[in-house]
Structure 1
Amino acid sequence: MTYTLIGWGLLCLPFFHKQSVAALDSLFIATSAISTTGLVTVSVFDTYNWFGQFIVMLLFQIGGIGYMTFTSFVILSRKGPLTRWHQRILNAEFTMPKGFDIKDFLKSVIVFTILLETLGALCFYIAFTRAGVEHNFAIWSSIFHSVSAFCTAGFGLYNDSFEQFADHTFINTIISVLAISGSLGFIVVTDLWNRISGKTKKITFTTIIIFGVIILLLTLGTVMIYFFEPSVSQLGENKLMVSFFQSMTALTTVGFNTVSVGRFSLGVMLVIIFLMYVGASPSGTGGGMKSTTLTALLAIMWSRIRNNRRVTFFGRVIPLERLYVATSVFMLYASVIFLSTFLLAMTEPFPLDQILFETTSAISTVGLSTGITGNLTAWGKVVVIFVMFVGRLGLLTFGLAILARKNRIKTIEDEEDLAV
């Protein structure tokens, strides 16, 4: 909340404006940036000057590596200890497998982020200059979009996102690599590095599951868009690249688009909503319910169908604590989507499918839109602001931050049966 309010205050200053902008719109932009969502009610490039754009970039950089991660890294750099409450929030935000050291993990997050964003900016500069972008603007655009892509923020300096670069293979590839790298999660990066450097002999079960789910869902989304979306089928040789990009941008929650999402058919929009709902992987820069949560839910269903007493997946027993988290996240996300869709449906003059798409994009911090964001009423903007903030902070983290109390030992004296 503090980062959001500071960003809002700065973006309200006329010194950072190209043209006047309402305070509510600046709050929307600040919240969207710190939550790495990418939904905008006004054009970032047309509304804010370079200083304002830099503030927006700084906000989604902080949001991308995590509120608590950023603060914790500062504390650790000063040799200060993490408080017990701080550690609880970190554990809720970063559901790490056993064996990961939190201090080494946080340092690897910062190093990996700087490395990837620097390489991404260099590649973007080459690509933009080849595409005819003016030199000075190409430098700033490269830095801005590299940070935005890796942090899966979806903010861009082009009002059509990347539609003008739909046939530019190099730019599409850069965005995809950065977004997938960020959304895979720092758990995967640390795990792979430990395996390559010889610190461990094998990668964790979590990493295997994350890779498997992402490959499966990317393939499924690409196939569905490729074969069933009429607006994409007319693109000829670029059809496969566009189909993959739209699947990738929804699943990684990076939020860029190379074709107009508002033109998608209802069936494909439903596929995109599902990909956004699942989202990226735990401890990454992306949002959504998380791929491992989907895995846990499928494991519960499969184990119950087979009448197994323990929940297993590929022969591995999933801890009960993780199952509680998965079911809680699923229900909380569904509840917020339902409630926010209901509230917007009461005040906004848009079809239900567009409102559902908008709320799913907001809670999963994706940033894709059918084009209704800028036309929301003041009430609609407030609702989406709240949904974006909660979506990035994490529903369990949000609840813990508000409801956390001192640990109390309670004894359950009676147990009641509940038929399900």
Structure 2
Amino acid sequence: MSPRHPAQVIVLGFAAAILAGTLLLTLPTSRVGPGGAGFLEALFTATSAVCVTGLTVVDTPAYWTGVGQVTILALIQIGGFGIMSFASLLGVLLARRMGLRSRISTAAETKSTGIGDVRSILVGILRTTLLVEGVTAVILAGRFHLGYGRPPAESVWLGVFHAVSAFNNAGFALFSDNLTGFVGDPWICLPVAGAVILGGLGFPVLFELRRHFRYPRKWLMTTKLVLSGTLVLLVLGTVFITAVEWSSPATLGPLPPGERVLAGFFQSTMTRTAGFNSVDIGQLHPVTLLAMDVLMFIGGGPAGTAGGLKITTFGVLFFILYTEISGGNAVNVFGKRLPRSVHRQAISIVLLAGGLVITATMVLMLITDFGLDRILFEVVSAFGTVGLSTGITAGIPSVGQVILILVMFAGRLGPVTLASALALRSRPLQYEYPKERPLIG
């Protein structure tokens, strides 16, 4: 029996893409040296790429051949674009039509308001993706060639790969030390950070900014929540990380003041679910790791390439809390009232996400010797599809790596599918039970 619920279709679509990517990465042509990659290494890498996470158990530039790297890049692009969106776009381009089921699944994945505008949304996503990735790739390629003397062909490849990885918030890099070699280079760090921020805003926000950039009063609540939340989290994250690590000899301490601020901003941006790092994450202070846990758990904007709970979910919870503290009766956000169904959805997502992170962390603590701060960071990074790591991923036993695979998969699809499922399960009741108030606190 074929799946009918959009959430089921999305989950199976991502699973199929991961399986296909795993099979491609196990081919001998994908791995450097004799023989193909191990199944677990291929599965972990494919899951990380499709779920646009960036966690790795092998050294990407040293372990994978050009074929393997192209495969990873394709998986990142497909995963960031959205499996159902990508499949529907192919259908539009090849057959110039979409079936009703494809429209419904794509609408659920892209958070469209209706199934009639799916075609225009897909075209808009494609144009936005190519524009941002193209501009970023040109800047990076030029810098690699002019600033570091890389050959033209290699510079173009490096520019394209890191541009796609950045906009899709994946964090895969073609350098063994990620981007730590460019910690003080604004021509590398700022374009990558800019692409990450744009990808993390989400396509609905980007589309509305294009239409009503000069008229903030016309912005929907989602756009206002995402923009204000992104600005606040970026600033707070930059200030906190820079302040805590300012004098650390293992991270920001050896850098000039301007480069310290740049590195702090870059790492704050990367907690928006992109796993690039310009400093050694394993050398960060435990307090910094905990703060980054919070930022990674919150994530970016909905219906984009970011992961985590999403800023909108966190914003809803914040205004619920504010309303309770201030003694209000209704939760109002930017002059609009939130439906109670949204309260329940946000609370449900947070509780389930928290339960998943806590459970995975406890299991990994039982089977490894790593400390709580490193394990929690790894799990939250996997759930938020961030990809930042303290360097323990490859040292985790096979069972633990499988757990991280499941966490990455749930983190990429959980909030989307759960929100869709909760919304579609809503049905009016013909009766209500009597009210009774339990003691709280």
TM-score range, shorter chain: over 0.9
Q: Is 1:250 aligned to 2:264, yes or no?
A: no
In structure 2, what residue type is equivalent to 1:243? G
Q: Is 1:154 aligned to 2:175, yes or no?
A: no
In structure 2, what residue type is equivalent to 1:118? G
> Offset at 1:75?
3.5
For residue 346 of structure 1, what is the aligned residue in structure 2? 366
Determine helix, strand or coil for the equivalent of 2:369.
Answer: coil
Computed over aligned residues only, the root mean square deviation of the Cα atoms, in angstroms, reads 2.5
Residues 337 and 201 from structure 1, CA distance in 2 versus in 1: closer, same or farther, beyond 3 angstroms? closer
Residues 15 and 178 from structure 1, CA distance in 2 versus in 1: closer, same or farther, beyond 3 angstroms? same
> Which string of whole-angstrom CA distances, capped at 9 and with x for unpartnered residues, describes residues 38-64 of structure 1?
000011211111111101100010011
> Offset at 1:99?
12
Which shifted more, 18-27 or 98-107?
A: 98-107
For residue 58 of structure 1, what is the aligned residue in structure 2? 74
Gaps (5+ residues) in structure 2?
A: 1-14
| Structure 1 residue corresponding to 2:332, chosen from 312, 318, 326 | 312
| Structure 2 residue corresponding to 1:125, chosen from 141, 147, 151 | 141
For residue 436 of structure 2, what is the aligned residue in structure 1? 417
In structure 2, what residue type is equivalent to 1:290? K
Post-superposition, which runs of at least 4 consecutive aligned residues in structure 1 deviate over 6 A? 97-100, 403-409
Q: Give distance in 1, aligned partners of 2:423 and 2:26.
A: 33
For residue 142 of structure 1, what is the aligned residue in structure 2? 159
Q: Give distance in 2, aligned partners of 1:101 and 1:196.
A: 21
For residue 279 of structure 1, what is the aligned residue in structure 2? 299
Q: Give distance in 2, aligned partners of 1:192 and 1:256.
A: 26
> Offset at 1:406?
8.8
Q: Is 1:389 aligned to 2:409, yes or no?
A: yes
| Structure 1 residue corresponding to 2:129, chosen from 88, 93, 113 | 113
Contact 1:36 1:63 in 2 (8 A): yes
Q: How does 1:185-334 map to 2 (within 5 A)?
A: 185-195=202-212, 202-229=218-245, 230=248, 231-237=251-257, 238-251=259-272, 253-334=273-354
Contact 1:226 1:233 in 2 (8 A): no
> Which string of whole-angstrom CA distances, capped at 9 and with x for unpartnered residues, describes residues 357-381 of structure 1?
0000000000000000011111011
Q: How does 1:83-122 map to 2 (within 5 A)?
A: 83=100, 87=104, 89-95=105-111, 101-122=117-138
For residue 367 of structure 1, what is the aligned residue in structure 2? 387
Determine helix, strand or coil for the equivalent of 2:252.
Answer: helix
Q: Give distance in 1, aligned partners of 2:63 and 2:265.
A: 32
| Structure 1 residue corresponding to 2:182, chosen from 138, 151, 165 | 165
Q: Give distance in 1, aligned partners of 2:98 and 2:116.
A: 18
Q: Give distance in 1, aligned partners of 2:113 and 2:98.
A: 22
Q: Give distance in 2, aligned partners of 1:210 and 1:301.
A: 18
In structure 2, what residue type is equivalent to 1:52? G
Which shifted more, 231-240 or 41-50?
A: 231-240
In structure 1, what residue type is equivalent to 2:64? Y
TM-score of the superposed pair, with normalisation by structure 2: 0.88
Residues 67 and 165 from structure 1, CA distance in 2 versus in 1: closer, same or farther, beyond 3 angstroms? same
In structure 1, what residue type is equivalent to 2:124? S
Q: How does 1:14-33 map to 2 (within 5 A)?
A: 14-19=28-33, 20=35, 21-33=37-49
Determine helix, strand or coil for the equivalent of 1:232.
Answer: coil
In structure 1, what residue type is equivalent to 2:269? M
Which shifted more, 220-229 or 66-75?
A: 66-75
Contact 1:93 1:394 in 2 (8 A): no
Q: Give distance in 1, aligned partners of 2:424 and 2:133.
A: 39
In structure 2, what residue type is equivalent to 1:168? D
> Which string of whole-angstrom CA distances, capped at 9 and with x for unpartnered residues, describes residues 192-232 of structure 1?
1112599x983223212211111111110111111112232
> Offset at 1:133?
2.5
Q: Percent identity?
A: 34
Q: Give distance in 2, aligned partners of 1:188 and 1:330.
A: 22
Contact 1:225 1:232 in 2 (8 A): no
Which shifted more, 271-280 or 231-240?
A: 231-240
Contact 1:365 1:392 in 2 (8 A): yes
Q: Give distance in 2, aligned partners of 1:140 and 1:396.
A: 32
In structure 2, what residue type is equivalent to 1:417? E
Residues 90 and 328 from structure 1, CA distance in 2 versus in 1: closer, same or farther, beyond 3 angstroms? farther
Residues 63 and 396 from structure 1, CA distance in 2 versus in 1: closer, same or farther, beyond 3 angstroms? closer
Residues 408 and 309 from structure 1, CA distance in 2 versus in 1: closer, same or farther, beyond 3 angstroms? closer
Residues 331 and 292 from structure 1, CA distance in 2 versus in 1: closer, same or farther, beyond 3 angstroms? same
Q: Give distance in 1, aligned partners of 2:326 and 2:214.
A: 40
Which shifted more, 360-369 or 10-19?
A: 10-19
Q: Give distance in 2, aligned partners of 1:81 and 1:160.
A: 44
In structure 1, what residue type is equivalent to 2:23? G
Q: Is 1:183 aligned to 2:213, yes or no?
A: no
Residues 62 and 95 from structure 1, CA distance in 2 versus in 1: closer, same or farther, beyond 3 angstroms? same
> Offset at 1:405?
9.3
In structure 2, what residue type is equivalent to 1:191? E
Contact 1:280 1:287 in 2 (8 A): yes
Contact 2:107 2:113 in 1 (8 A): no
Residues 262 and 30 from structure 1, CA distance in 2 versus in 1: closer, same or farther, beyond 3 angstroms? same
> Offset at 1:83?
3.5
> Offset at 1:119?
1.4
Residues 136 and 249 from structure 1, CA distance in 2 versus in 1: closer, same or farther, beyond 3 angstroms? same
In structure 1, what residue type is equivalent to 2:54? G
